[in-house]
Amino acid sequence: MKRLSIVAWVLILLLPVLMFANAHQAFRFDRLQRQVRQAERAQRALLESNKRAITSVSALSSPARIDRLAREVFGLEQTFAGPRIEAVSPVRERSP
């Protein structure tokens, strides 16, 4: 009989500890869930920013825009559109 009362007292004392552990775990879960939502929002913002940057780069590096800038801003003109040929002098050997 005495053994049964010891088990009952252990269970009675263990119940508040387990309830506290459950509440603590729920609190931690809620905090981590908020952090995940914040990280997801930040990730979406970075993805949108990256998309805008990629669009800007592709718009700024288009051949039509570069040609227009070369002509209007720098006053350059295209003189020959064919293949390019360069004359390179042979490398002279150095004598020791």
Q: What is the pLDDT of residue 65?
A: 86
Q: What is the pLDDT of residue 83?
A: 72
One-letter amino acid at 68 equals: R
Q: What is the pLDDT of residue 93?
A: 60
At 73, is the secondary structure helix, strand, or coil?
Answer: coil
CA separation for the pair 24, 31 (Å, rounded): 11
Q: What is the pLDDT of residue 44?
A: 97
Residues with Cβ within 8 Å of residue 76, at least 6 apart in sequence? 70
Q: What is the pLDDT of residue 81?
A: 65
Q: What is the pLDDT of residue 15?
A: 93
CA separation for the pair 13, 10 (Å, rounded): 5
Q: What is the pLDDT along the chain (96 residues), one digit of tens a residue?
A: 567 788 888 888 999 999 999 999 999 999 999 999 999 999 999 999 999 999 988 888 888 888 888 888 888 887 766 676 677 777 666 655
Q: What is the pLDDT of residue 22?
A: 96
Query: How many other β-carbons are positioned within 10 Å of the β-carbon of residue 6?
Result: 9
